[in-house]
Each structure stands twice: as C-alpha cells, then as structure tokens.
Amino acid sequence: MQNCSSPDGPALLEALRPVFDLRAIRPVVNISIPSIVNVDFVVVGILGVDEKAQLLTTFIMQMLWWKNEFISWDQKQCSAQWITVPRKLLWIPDIVINEFMEKNTAQFTPYVVVFNNGMVMDIQPVRVVSSCRLDIYTFPFDIQNCTLTFNSYMHRISTLRIGRLYSEENIFNFSKRMMATMGEWELIGIKALQQLQNSSNNEIYEDLRFFVRAVFR
C-alpha cells in the first residue's frame, strides 16, 4: 500500500513512483495469474462507408479497464479516491482492433485514471477505418453488418483474459444517445461474441467481437 506523506496530489504522486519504475512488467503479484482487461466502447458516429473499398469509418470512444496490483492507497490518508497520470508511466495492455486498416487519427489522450483500489481506466477516442464485407445490392439502403474484433497483440490467455463491464444493450443504448443527431447512418444493433482462438504456435488467445449493424436513413 502506498503511504502519502501529506493529504495532497503531489504526495500521492511521489508515493506512486515505485510503481512507475515497474511499468515494463505486467502488474500482477503472481505472474501465473492472467490479467483481466475489460473492453467496452461507445459508437459516437458512423462517418462513412466506402462500398468499393469495402471500408467502414466509425468514431468510437474505447474504454479499457484493468487492475494494477502494485497500486493501493488509503483514500482518507491521501485525500483522493483517484488520480490522473501520464499513460507512459504505467503498464498499458496491448489491445488492438483487428479490422483496422488505417492509423488512428483521433486526438491522442495522454492520461489514464488510477483509482485507490488499483483499477485503471483508459478512455480513448478512436477513428476506426475498418475492413467490412458490405452488402451493396441496393447500397446504401441495405442493412450493413460490420465487425470490430478486440484482442491482445502479444498476450495469450495464460497472461491476459478479455472481458467487458457493460452489456450489449447498454453499449447499444449509450451509442444511440450519442448518435441521436449525427450523420445519415442509423445504428440498429450491436451484438458481442467472445471466442478462444488458436495462434500459429498452438497457444490460445482470446478475442472479443462486436457486430455493428447500421442502415442509411
């Protein structure tokens, strides 16, 4: 547990310095136990569909949650339940979107939120240009179904498991509210599927797939 020399932000930041020195390693006390990274997102807008290139462009708020077991402090002693710190000071899970076809050009967020129980919240805006098998028979009036697959780039299930905090219904409702007055595409459904996959070296990794359905208004 981190001990603060005084109940203020600078003292808490100083108490966390030993944790920052450990940022190169996965933040678990027992390395045989996998970290759990919860993945959620909200669709802010559907920016466009390229039927010829089979690309969907969406703008999402990606939310990752995980526990850093090296972090714990007393809220009363340090006078804070949470603190924001530069992401470069902490271990960050390498969660990627498999269908990504272009570099994310959304505004970079340099900070994460760290809570006194060790939970870390990372919220990032992401402009996703993703490959998508589009139905173009009566484009754009067909219902389009596209997939966003989240998984770790390096970690297998022995070191990292993927979960989620919010239900499909909550993600869909949050997204509908965010998109209420945006664009010509209407979001009509979001479904999720969690799967175990075999890697090329016969290890097992986990992915979380979201199926996004939209129609032209």
**Burial class, 182, CB count within 10 angstroms (exposed 0-12 / middle 13-18 / buried 19+):** middle
In this structure, what token pair is assigned to residue 57? 């462009």
Number of domain units in the chain: 1
Q: What is the spatial distance between Cα 150 and Cα 126, in angstroms, rounded to a whole number?
A: 13
CATH number at residue 168: 2.70.170.10
Q: What angle do CA 23, 115, 178 make, to 5 degrees?
A: 105
Residue type, 175: S
Tell me if 49 is assigned to some domain: yes
Closest CA to 150 of 206, 190, 207, 211: 207
Tell me if 1 is assigned to some domain: no
* Beta strand extents in 51-88 (DSSP E only): 55-67, 82-86
Tell me if 61 is assigned to some domain: yes
Q: Give the predicted TM-score (pTM) of the model.
A: 0.89
Tell me if 3 is assigned to some domain: no
Tell me if 2 is assigned to some domain: no
Structural domain of 33: 9-216
Per-residue pLDDT tens, the chain, 217 aa: give them.
899 999 999 999 999 999 999 999 999 999 999 999 999 999 998 887 777 778 888 899 999 999 999 999 999 999 999 999 999 999 999 999 998 888 888 889 999 999 999 999 999 999 988 888 776 665 555 677 889 999 999 999 999 999 999 999 999 999 998 886 556 778 899 999 999 988 777 889 999 999 998 887 6
